[in-house]
Amino acid sequence: MTDIMDSPAVKAAVRSAAAGAGTGTTGAEDARGSADSAARGSANPSQPSAHQPLRAAVVRAAELARAAEERARDKQHAKGKKTARERLDMLFDTGTFEEIGRFQGGNIAAGNAGAAVITGFGLIYGRKVAVYAQDFSVKGGTLGTAEGEKICRLMDMAIDLKVPIVAIVDSGGARIQEGVAALTQYGRIFRKTCEASGFVPQLSLILGPCAGGAVYCPALTDLIIMTRENSNMFVTGPDVVKAATGETISMADLGGGEVHNRVSGVAHYLGEDESDAIDYARTVLAYLPSNAESQPPVYAYAATRAERDTAKRLAQIVPANERQPYDMLDVIRCIVDYGEFVQVQELFGASALVGFACIDGHPVGVVANQPNVRAGILDVDSSEKVARFVRLCDAFNLPVVTLVDVPGYKPGSDQEHAGIIRRGAKVIYAYANAQVPLVTVVLRKAFGGAYIVMGSKAIGADLNFAWPSSQIAVLGAAGAVNIIHRHDLAKAKAAGQDVEALRARYIKEYETSTVNANLSLEIGQIDAMIDPEQTREVIAESLATLATKRRVRRTTKHHGNQPL
């Protein structure tokens, strides 16, 4: 789309008008003069300007747009923030942004350049994406009727065109002067977001304040990206909190980027600054398809000797001792293309890892336990993290590769009271309903209910593999022996025998007979035993085998009742 504001004639007229501002002539007079001059000076009679001189109103609109951006720079840069248009330049491939409704909600004659939101389309890595960017320099970025109309129109177009939607949020919330009319627009945006959910990817960049009911716009999207500074989300601000509870708290401590990435889990990435946050959004979109009806993009990849040598390192990364921690990130980087793994919710529920990667050029979602953090145990936070990520992958046709090394669920009253039953059930629901290719590898241990929910064959995985040293059982050997042989151990203690030596013997016997992958292999719950260095190759071959897997509707239900 070519905007008349970008035409050489209009730009020349605006420059002339700006120069004439100091000569005593009025802007309108100078605009008319420069417009006529531009028309007379046209060397090519076929150009529109030769037959239709620029109207003063057009030049006036261009002047307003230029002045508005200058004001925005002055206001935003003073706060260490970019303007909405500068953010769009960073988000999209150079020169590809096409704005729609630029002056909608404005009054050119009265000197109002437009609404407090910019809407349009652009390209990210060559693929079309819709965007709305709130402009804090215009009425604090507040949302009124005009802004709501622009956003809803953009979202309707994005759904029709089947392209992702990116929201850049920097707003003071609902425009109080418009009262319920402003709140009504939030309701419309909520509904549009729900309509688009699972159909096109939706990302929210929180690059300023986001308060009150406005927080539910990003909360309904797939990923929320925040920054360390200037980024805030809360339903009730510090002043309201103090008035209601007496608690004094800063905006950052109440709902800053660090809080929502590390504590609440509301956000999915913490950018060091706006550039980092926007770059993450671009990166994530590179792994996702444009919509649920499309497949993810495929990238050229050619394995080299370095990659094959890296795959062989897997045998040395995972310790044989089940109690010795290691970094699962090292394992993942040995498996995926170029060792590139884009984490999601890196700071939240850290005993599990989720994120995007490629295998032989094909994007996949990776889910893994992290033995470096509480032995990779599942708790309320990591359960929700895994469940939501699997649902995201399933919605947008990304195969899920699950790497398992889990001792079970975290015990304790705090977990029970926090709803580990309800939250753990979310993982079950996500895997059991997923219809994308599911490939699971048990690296070291998989015990109890945690084994079942982490992409087991029983819950719906397509292909499951295990390393030779893997342990798969209801309980670890030590825990099982303490239950099974508790009477024998008690008798030995009463008789003065060496209880620890007896316990060690029982543990060794249990490990040999039960805590291994043999039973799972025999009953078909594990498809094959593989050497660690074969892991990447086996996953790639499995994904190629499952590439033609298609979705099946097994019942006529409207939808399931997911545990929430």
Task: List the catalytic residues.
Answer: 212-213, 449-450
CB atoms within 10 A of CB 545: 13
b/e burial code for range 193-218 (CB count within 10 A of at least 16 → b): beebebebbbbbbbbbbbbbbbbbbb
Output the CA torsion 360→362→367→368 (10° steps): 10
In Å, what is the CA distance from 130 to each residue of 252, 397, 536?
A: 30, 20, 36
The secondary structure of residue 212, as a DSSP letter, is G
Q: What does the alpha-carbon distance between residue 472 and residue 346 come to, in Å, rounded to a whole number?
A: 27
Residue ranges with strand state E in 57-207: 98-100, 117-124, 127-134, 165-169, 202-206
With residue 443 as reference, give the H or E element that holds it: strand 438-447
Tokens of 116: 């407090």
The DSSP H or E segment spanning 270 is: strand 269-271
CA distance 77 to 238: 25
For residue 468, give every residue at least 6 positions away whose Cβ sits within 8 Å of its Cβ, in sequence order, or none: 517, 529, 531
Q: Using CA atoms, how far apart are residues 416 and 125, in angstroms rounded to an integer?
A: 45
For 92, the token pair is: 């999209």
Compute the Cα dihedral for 479, 483, 485, 491 and give only its sign: positive
Residues 431 and 547 sit within 8 Å (Cβ to Cβ): no
Query: Which residue type sits at 340?
Result: E
Instruction: Calculate the dihedral angle through the C-alpha atoms of 412, 413, 418, 419, rounding to the nearest 10 degrees.
Output: 80
Is 483 in a helix, a strand, or coil? helix
Angle at CA of residue 308, ends 305 and 311, nearest 5°: 150
The token pair at 493 is 């203690």
- Alpha-carbon distance 220 to 187, whole Å? 12
Nearest to 465 by CA among 522, 510, 403, 509: 403
Measured CA to CA, the distance from residue 309 to residue 531 in angstroms comes to 14
